Amino acid sequence: MLKSLVKSFKNWDIYDANNKKDYYVNTEEDLDKMRYEGNFISQIIVNCNELEDGFAYYSFKFEFNYCRFGFEDGTESVMYKDKIIFWDDGNSMEYIYSFKEILESGNHYPV
């Protein structure tokens, strides 16, 4: 699972406000560093009951200062293979959309 998450993070630049540095996640070690040393991601929650045709739903609990687009209460993502096709903020750890609703909304990247 972490390898898949690393792929989805590759284009996200992570800003550490305390050190005034940008970080990029390219390896599992980079992700671990931001999770544990930087406290960027305090939780990754994967709802294994919500897997359908290669889609996975998961929530991140962010520390606000460690991400340019960070939200104090986290963000939800829907991932297809190694690509995030949809994400939304504001309701971390709550299931807010069904896969059908996401695909029918047109608010996703083509898969």
Tens of pLDDT, residues 32-84: 776 666 555 555 555 555 556 666 655 555 444 444 444 455 555 666 655 66
pLDDT at 27: 78
Residue 1 has pLDDT above 50, yes or no: yes
pLDDT at 111: 44
CB 35 within 8 A of CB 41: yes
What is the average pLDDT score of the chain? Answer: 59
How far is residue 12's CA from residue 68's CA, in Å, rounded to a whole number? 9
Which 3 state secondary structure label does DSSP give 65? helix
Closest CA to 62 of 40, 32, 47: 40
> What is the band of 28 on the pLDDT scale with cuts at 50, 70, 90?
confident
For the chain, give me the number of helices (H) and strands (E)? 3, 6
Of the CA atoms within 13 Å of residue 51, those in its CB half-sphere come to 7
